């Protein structure tokens, strides 16, 4: 089965809320709320991938020293196996805005069950509740 590598981020604000982004219409799993991030390019380090994706998707700038690995998801979708490390980021420049018009929400981890999320993202909630 194909292996897909995606890097995801829990952006944390001063109230210990985490940013979720709605997957845009037209994409797979459209309308579900996910941790921002994206696909690792060939030869790219996960931290560099996340810095690039956060800039492309949310218009913010962060730095490798501000990214702390927390856990990772490993989920077998029907046509690929997704391996997705989750980093925590508490320091960045700019105000997150969906660069492709996607809706954003700051959510307390304990309230995340109210937001439909891709199945791969669900096991990431418990470690965030423990952390925050
Ligand atoms: O975001 P993108 O469409 O590039 O991600 C590729 C696939 O990885 C998605 O179709 C989805 O199945 C999975 N994914 C996920 N959770 C995320 C990001 C991506 O399950 N937070």
Q: What is the mean pLDDT of residues 86-106?
A: 97
Domains and CATH numbers, the chain: 2-131 (3.90.79.10)
3-state SS string for the chain: CEEEEEEEEEEECCCCCEEEEECCCCCCCCCCEECCEEECCCCCCHHHHHHHHHHHHHCCECCHHHEEEEEEEEEECCCEEEEEEEEEECCCECCCCCCCCCCEEEECHHHHHHCCCCCCCHHHHHHHHHHC
Ligand 1 centroid to Cα of residue 92, in Å, is 23
Give the pLDDT score at 124: 98
Residue nearest to atom 2 of ligand 1 (CA): 38
Ligand 1 centroid to Cα of residue 100, in Å, is 16
User: Is this model's pTM higher than 0.90 or not?
Assistant: yes
pLDDT level of residue 126 (50, 70, 90 thresholds): very high
Segment 22-52, tens digit of pLDDT: 999 999 999 999 999 999 999 999 999 999 9
């Amino acid at each position: 089965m194909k292996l897909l590598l995606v890097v995801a981020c829990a952006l944390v604000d001063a109230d210990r809320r985490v940013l979720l982004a709605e997957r845009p219409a037209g994409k797979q799993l459209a309308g579900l709320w996910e941790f921002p991030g994206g696909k690792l390019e060939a030869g790219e380090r996960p931290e560099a991938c996340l810095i690039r994706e956060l800039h492309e998707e949310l218009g913010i700038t962060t730095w490798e020293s501000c990214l702390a690995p927390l856990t990772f998801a490993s989920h077998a979708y029907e046509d690929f196996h997704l391996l997705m490390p989750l980093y925590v980021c508490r320091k960045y420049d700019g105000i997150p805005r969906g660069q492709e018009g996607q809706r954003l929400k700051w959510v307390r981890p304990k309230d995340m069950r109210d937001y439909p999320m891709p199945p791969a993202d669900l096991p990431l909630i418990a470690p965030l509740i423990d952390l925050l």
